[in-house]
Amino acid sequence: MGNRFGRLRNAVSKRGRIVPSARPDFATHEGRSIKPLRITDLAADLGLSADDVEPRGWYQGKLALGLERALESRPRGKYVGVTAISPTPLGEGKTVTAIGLAMGLCRLGQRAVATLRQPSLGPVFGMKGGGAGGGNARLLPTEEINLHFTGDLHAVTSAHNLLAAMLDNHLGRRLAPTLEPTSVSWRRVIDLNDKGLARIVTGAGDDPRVPRRETGFDLTAASEVMAILALATGLDDLERRLARIVVGRDESGRPIQARDIGCVGAMTALLRDALRPNLVQTCEQTPALVHAGPFGNIAHGNSSVLADLAALRLADFVVTESGFGADCGAEKLFDIKCRTSGLVPDVMVLVCTVRALKYQSGRFAIGPGRAPPELFEEDDAALQDGRENLAGHLDILRKFGVPVVAAINRFPADTERELTAVRRMALDAGAAEVAVSDAFARGGAGAEQLAAAVVAAAALPNRFQTLYPDELPYEEKLDRVAREIYGADGADIAPLARRQLESYQADGFTDLPVCIAKTQYSFSHDPKRLGRPRGFRLPIREARLAAGAGFVYALAGDISTMPGLPASPAALRIGVDEDGAIYGIR
């Protein structure tokens, strides 16, 4: 593999500015201009041949189908999960920390690969912004990863909507098996935040072949097809999972699946290349796999099983990231992704920030891209008031038996007193190790302390366990997650949701894990309940079956599967300059 994993290549350009779409681009890193490695060189550093990686441009590549099986003779590396405390609308740098940690491990002489989700265009143009990291801890090529990339999200959108179109055709032509029109549950998807499409009526006009019915759009990242792509263990498994998708019921109440509509082969064809993980690099020329992008509060929120399986045979350490906080993506990593893949995390990293802990005190109002200046001033009382949120997330992770490292993502306004206070809080709450990460400002060098803590924690005893057994009834699973993970007094399941859960079990869809869709901003279903709320019950208003993905997901509170745009969308600040370079993606 050579020695590039353990050091930063200092390739400095002496040329003028180069247009990314025309010639190789250069990324600023720690004050220097760094030329990315060609994808063929990056693959060679991983010990992969030209047959193992198909270049998609200079700096992107697709792994060969089935590569994870071809690598099984290699030893398996350590599996590191990255999650966070409850985020603020400003973002707390979880992706930056994951990328920085992978780079820091490489600087320590370890072979490390980051496996991350592909950003959705919804957040890129909406409130959250891009998902390729930032500062001196980001992925390259940044703009391509945040935009069309290798076309995987478009493939998911097309496969999902093909089933929707075939379903309407099946209904309109009254094909067998006969569908009950009011039972159809399969909506359409689009990879943009477009609230106007959340509820629509299709079939306007007089064409008898087009049934008029109420439906709507979800975000592509919330699609069951996206969840399937991330959980599939191979092409055959992908096709089997697509076939199991439930789209509605017949007149007798029997579930109708995608296999009954007859387009599973075509959906698989659309998704064949999308199933292959994408190889890119960090700004320190270390490898990363970016693949699949299910939402962390709506879907299971983790990157693909196939990327992890391949990376674990290519590296000493694999750093993967779960969406939002430990109550969202990390719980779903353990209870959904780990059940599917058989993988067990060796270490979990919990990202926290001084400003997020102050925000959890409830003393500050934060909006997308804005915060009061007082938030960035030293305030020990606010910091102490927010400590229960940190303790709550540490408690969640420790329930699963995995060693936990707390990573304090440093911001410029943080003082040494505040950092020391957060370190003490994390240790008191049960973290095995605590380290400050300064990856945004200093790249891998700023994450070496964190990397050393992760290496140390990986040697600790691991008593991993899932939260509940497969055979537990759905209502009890939901109640256990509500109590054990969110700190609720239990789950209140609405009559509609109860009937839905009973019907799934009667149809034979038993023993599936549950995926609760709720706000990411609070342990509860209410985004305004900060800190570590107590004395509440979790309202489950609706349950939906994702038979292909292999879970039942429940909607808690006012969560929406089609987010809207903020008052000042990120799209207002994105453009292309006179040289053809894209700007404004953050």
Query: Quick check: 45 and 5 in contact, CB under 8 A?
Result: yes
531 by Cβ neighbours in 10 Å (0-12 / 13-18 / 19+) ranks as buried
CATH code of 535's domain: 3.10.410.10
Given 457, 491, 514, which residue is the final one in a domain?
457
The total domain count for the chain is 3
Q: Are residues 19 and 93 in the same domain?
A: yes
466 within some domain: no
Query: Quick check: 30 and 12 in contact, CB under 8 A?
Result: no
How far apart are alpha carbons 303 and 532 in whole angstroms?
A: 28
Residues with Cβ within 8 Å of 400's Cβ and at least 6 positions away in sequence, in order, are 334, 348, 464, 465, 466, 467
298 within some domain: yes
Q: Are residues 123 and 246 in the same domain?
A: no
Q: Are residues 250 and 278 in the same domain?
A: no
What are the pLDDT tens digits along the chain (586 aa)? 444 554 433 333 333 333 444 334 456 666 556 789 999 999 999 999 999 999 999 999 999 999 999 999 999 999 999 999 999 888 889 999 999 999 999 999 999 999 999 999 988 998 777 889 999 999 999 999 999 999 999 999 999 999 999 999 999 899 999 999 999 999 999 999 999 999 999 888 888 778 788 999 999 999 999 999 999 999 999 999 999 999 999 999 999 999 999 999 999 999 999 999 999 999 999 999 999 999 888 899 999 999 999 999 999 999 999 999 999 999 999 999 999 999 999 999 999 999 999 999 999 888 766 788 888 999 999 999 999 999 999 999 999 999 999 999 999 999 999 999 999 999 999 999 999 999 999 999 999 999 999 999 999 999 999 999 999 999 999 999 999 999 999 999 999 999 999 999 999 999 999 999 999 999 999 999 999 999 999 999 999 999 999 999 999 988 888 888 888 888 999 999 998 989 988 7
CATH code of 240's domain: 3.30.1510.10
Given 427, 457, 487, which residue is the final one in a domain?
457
Q: Are residues 171 and 230 in the same domain?
A: yes
21 within some domain: yes
Q: Are residues 146 and 156 in the same domain?
A: no
Element (DSSP H or E) covering residue 311 = helix 305-312
402 within some domain: yes
Query: What domain range is 246 assigned to?
Result: 152-271
Residues with Cβ within 8 Å of 480's Cβ and at least 6 positions away in sequence, in order, are 467, 468, 472
Residue 243 carries which side chain, given as an amino acid letter?
A
310 within some domain: yes
pTM exceeds 0.85, yes or no: yes
How far apart are alpha carbons 361 and 129 in whole angstroms?
A: 25
Measure Cα distances from 72 to 66, 76, 100 in Å: 11, 8, 27
